[in-house]
């Protein structure tokens, strides 16, 4: 194809997106669109399955049967989200195994928040409330993103996410209405998860590289800073309701802007974790790699069995 032709196709392509048309897997698309989507969707998928680990850590220790069932169902949902998103990614011509390979080799990234440890039961509350809360803010706009399979996966994901945040908040609420020890546990969890949750919405606009292109392709609707502000504005009143304190001495309602002002985020910490030196990066990656490697004989066996049986069926048919 000549360069002029491609340029033409690209213009038509961008115009379709601008008209809010969806792009489907077999449609022509610029290579950059494909690569960007593979990167973003797989990163998102990886985050879902790595995200199972910190919460999975408390399934056996959940303090009541009701909480245990809810937590199990929640972590299971995250596996489902990973699965929907890997499937969406696969429509772009890359296999799940290749995507795993990228994750396991450290080439692919995932959300840094999951590199923090879950050390008390209250962390289950804080994660549901704050981490799923921030995720929802990130994800809702993606239900209208330009790539069809991604948009459809996100519709399903968002529908399921709402229970996650509610169960998290309910855990916090119960703790805050409980004993002094429980309330302290809730406060401690907020202290540890607040800043990483703010970081979850991405680097500041000044440092964020992909934003403009992503806006055009509807991978992003609002900037990181706008999303962060939205998250803070909606979450602070919830903390007030719980009766616990957001660990930011600079946090203050601003009458003029109609938003909360907040303190400086420690971006050094953010980049340290992104680069692999967070408290649990190694543990998370080891858990995934081990699960995959230990499961190899199982996957191979199922495949071998399927092939044998397919042969048997063929033999019968002839």
Partner 1 sequence: MTEKRNWPLWEIFVRSKNGLEHRHFGSLHAADAEMALENARDVYTRRNEGVSIWVVESKHITASNPEQNGEMFEPAQDKVYRHPTFYDLPDEVKHM
Partner 2 sequence: MKNQNLYNYILTIADNSLILAQRLGELCGHGPNLETDIALTNISLDLLGQTRSYYQYAAKISGEDKTEDDIAFLRIEREYKNCLLVEQPNTHFGYVIGRQFLFDVYHFMLMEKLQNSKDETLTAIAKKSIKEVSYHKRFSSDWIKRLGDGTEESNVKMQEAIDDLWRYTDELFLMTEAEKIMVKEGIGIDVSSFKEKYYEEVAEVLKDATLNVPENKYFTKGGKEGVHTEHMGYILADLQYMQRTYPNMTW
Nearest distance, CB of residue 26 and partner 1, angstroms? 5
Binding marks (x or -) toward partner 2, 175..204, rule CB under 8 A? x--xx-xx----------------------
Q: Indicate the residue among 108 and 184 with the shorter CB distance to Fe ion.
A: 108
35 touching partner 1, by CB under 8 A: no
Nearest distance, CB of residue 216 and partner 2, angstroms? 32
Q: Indicate the residue among 205 and 300 with the shorter CB distance to partner 1.
A: 300
For residue 132, the partner it binds in partner 1, Fe ion, partner 2, none, with Cβ less than 5 to 8 A by kind, is Fe ion
241 touching partner 2, by CB under 8 A: no
DSSP assignment of the chain equals --HHHHHHHHHHHHHHHHTTPPB-TTS---HHHHHHHHHHHHHHHHHHHHTHHHHHTTTTT-SSHHHHHHHHHHHHHHHHHHHHHHHHHHTTS--HHHHHHHHHTT-S---GGGGS---STHHHHHIIIIIHHHHHHHHGGGGG-SBHHHHHHHHHHHHHHHHHHHHHHHHHHHHHTS-HHHHHHHHHHHHHHHHHHHHHT-S-GGG-SSHHHHHHTTS-SS-HHHHHHHHHHHHHHHHHHHT---S-TT-EEETTTTEEE-----HHHHHHIIIIISTTHHHHHHHHHHHHHHTHHHHHHHHHHHHHHHHHHHHHH-
203 and 139 in contact (C-beta within 8 Å)?
no
Nearest distance, CB of residue 51 and Fe ion, angstroms? 5
Neighbours of 221 (CB within 10 A): 14
95 touching partner 1, by CB under 8 A: yes
Nearest distance, CB of residue 15 and partner 2, angstroms? 37
55 touching Fe ion, by CB under 5 A: no
Interface residue with partner 2 among 9, 10, 34, 59 (CB under 8 A) is 59
95 and 28 in contact (C-beta within 8 Å)?
no
Nearest distance, CB of residue 41 and partner 1, angstroms? 14
Nearest distance, CB of residue 295 and partner 2, angstroms? 2
Q: Indicate the residue among 52 and 273 with the shorter CB distance to partner 2.
A: 52
Interface residue with partner 2 among 295, 310, 311, 313 (CB under 8 A) is 295
- Measured distance CA(128)–CA(171) in Å, rounded: 9
Q: What are phi and psi of 247, to 5 degrees?
A: -80, 60
Interface residue with partner 2 among 2, 3, 31, 64 (CB under 8 A) is 64
Chain centre distance of CA 75: 13
91 touching partner 2, by CB under 8 A: no
Nearest distance, CB of residue 68 and partner 1, angstroms? 17
- Measured distance CA(14)–CA(37) in Å, rounded: 15
252 touching partner 2, by CB under 8 A: no
Residues binding partner 1 (CB under 8 A):
24, 26-28, 76, 80, 83-84, 87, 90, 95-97, 152-153, 156, 160, 299-300, 302-307, 309-310
Residues binding Fe ion (CB under 5 A):
48, 78, 81, 132, 135, 161, 164
Residues binding partner 2 (CB under 8 A):
49, 52-53, 56, 59-69, 72-73, 75-76, 79-80, 82-83, 86, 121, 171, 174-175, 178-179, 181-182, 287, 290-292, 294-306, 308
């Amino acid at each position: 194809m000549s360069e002029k032709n491609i340029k033409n196709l690209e213009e038509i392509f961008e115009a379709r997106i601008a008209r809010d048309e969806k792009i489907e897997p077999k449609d022509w698309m610029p290579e950059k669109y494909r690569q960007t989507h593979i990167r973003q969707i797989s990163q998102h998928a990886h985050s879902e399955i790595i995200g199972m680990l910190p919460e999975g850590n408390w399934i056996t220790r959940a303090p009541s049967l009701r909480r245990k069932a809810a937590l199990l169902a929640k972590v299971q949902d995250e596996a489902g989200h990973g699965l929907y998103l890997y499937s969406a990614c696969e429509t772009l011509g890359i296999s799940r195994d290749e995507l795993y390979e990228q994750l396991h080799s450290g080439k692919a990234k995932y959300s840094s928040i999951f590199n923090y440890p879950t050390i008390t039961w209250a962390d289950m509350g804080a994660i549901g409330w704050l981490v799923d809360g921030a995720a929802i803010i990130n994800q809702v706009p993606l239900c209208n993103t330009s790539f069809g399979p991604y948009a459809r996966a996100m519709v399903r994901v968002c529908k399921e996410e709402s229970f996650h945040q509610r169960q998290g908040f309910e855990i916090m609420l119960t703790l805050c209405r409980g004993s002094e020890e429980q309330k302290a546990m809730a406060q401690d969890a907020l202290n540890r998860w607040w800043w990483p949750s703010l970081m979850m919405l991405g680097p500041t606009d000044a440092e964020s590289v992909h934003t403009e292109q992503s806006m055009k392709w509807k991978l992003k609707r609002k900037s990181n800073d706008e999303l962060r502000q939205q998250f803070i504005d909606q979450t602070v009143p919830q903390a007030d309701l719980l009766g616990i304190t957001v660990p930011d001495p600079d946090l203050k309602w601003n009458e003029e802007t109609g938003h909360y002002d907040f303190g400086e985020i420690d971006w050094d910490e953010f980049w340290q974790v992104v680069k692999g030196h967070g408290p649990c990066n190694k543990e998370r990656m080891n858990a995934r790699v081990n699960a995959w490697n230990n499961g190899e004989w199982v996957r191979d066996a199922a495949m071998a069995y399927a092939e044998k049986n397919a042969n048997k069926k063929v033999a019968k048919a002839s």
